[in-house]
Chain A
């Protein structure tokens, strides 16, 4: 059984916001709602890192635990979804979520908020798959079309990976092993170095007796 997850490689993310745009375009998300965002740490300084953030589809989702009307459910593939017919827009899930994933569209004056909206892992919601009702409420159901989330598939540097957690772990492990040591290094080599690329020349060893 697949366990759908996102994985963002901070060494590769270039803060292009392509994932954000892909998500908004794919689901025709209204103004003011961002199901996915790119967060940058140490912006403009050497060693800055960017991470694309959305719903992490938690195994023990806090949003699901605090929802007073039990609007959330987890699919067999580990995707956390909710019913907009049940949601009352109370905002508890927003307070509970450590990633700020739940979003609320403004539906009227004085900032009155509507039903919660969040990343669906492109899996739609509790409406007939690929129907107009599903698209209007939850967005496109790419999983039902045999596709992975648009944000991950559109990522130009393949920093954002989406799919079965075990498969993603294998891809990421191969990537980390191939590009060699990272962390203290910053830039192209850390993110992309191919296994057949020449190794960085090492400093010659210092002869004994000399300092």
Chain B
């Protein structure tokens, strides 16, 4: 009698908890697994010749050209 009740209860509990055992299915991406040729930084060639600070300044100046409030005042 008890076994007759316990079996359906156990089956019900198993069904209710079935989703709890699911593993995440999103793949784990590992940074730095690029297989191709290495690329050089943008400032490594003329006219910057590896001078990152100068390249940063050029980028910042260029970016501010997009701010017309600075240009019109």
Residues of A near any B CB (own CB < 8 A): 2, 60, 64-66, 69-73, 75-77, 81-83, 85-86, 123-130, 141, 143-148, 152-153, 155, 158, 161-164, 167-168, 171, 174-175, 178, 194-195
> Are A126 and B36 in contact, CB atoms less than 8 angstroms apart?
yes
Which residue among B34, B44, B47 has the maximum number of chain A CB atoms within 10 Å of its CB? B34
> Are B42 and A143 in contact, CB atoms less than 8 angstroms apart?
yes
A22 nearest CB across to chain B (Å): 14
Chain B contributes a number of interface residues (CB within 8 A of A) equal to 31
> Are A70 and B41 in contact, CB atoms less than 8 angstroms apart?
no
> Are A174 and B34 in contact, CB atoms less than 8 angstroms apart?
no
CA distance A73 to B47 in the complex (A): 25
Cβ-closest 5 pairs across A and B: A83-B36, A163-B63, A146-B58, A73-B34, A143-B42
Residues of B14-30 contacting chain A, CB below 8 A: 27, 29
> Are A158 and B41 in contact, CB atoms less than 8 angstroms apart?
no
> Are A129 and B40 in contact, CB atoms less than 8 angstroms apart?
yes
* Set A64, A76, A128, A195: member contacting B41, Cβ < 8 A: A76
> Are B63 and A168 in contact, CB atoms less than 8 angstroms apart?
yes
> Are B60 and A167 in contact, CB atoms less than 8 angstroms apart?
yes
> Are B36 and A73 in contact, CB atoms less than 8 angstroms apart?
yes
CB neighbours of B60 from chain A (8 A): 164, 167
> Are A70 and B66 in contact, CB atoms less than 8 angstroms apart?
no
Asked whether any CB of chain A lies closer than 8 Å to the CB of B3, the reply is: no
Contact indicator per residue, chain B 34-72, by CB within 8 Å of chain A (1) or not (0): 111111111111011000000110111011111111001
* Set A130, A147, A195: member contacting B62, Cβ < 8 A: A147
Which residue among A69, A144, A147 has the maximum number of chain B CB atoms within 10 Å of its CB? A144
> Are A130 and B45 in contact, CB atoms less than 8 angstroms apart?
yes
Show 20 A/B contacts (Cβ-Cβ < 8 Å), sorted by A. Answer: A60-B29, A65-B29, A66-B27, A70-B34, A70-B35, A71-B36, A83-B34, A83-B36, A83-B37, A129-B42, A141-B42, A144-B43, A146-B59, A148-B66, A153-B65, A164-B59, A164-B60, A175-B67, A194-B69, A194-B72
> Are A163 and B36 in contact, CB atoms less than 8 angstroms apart?
no
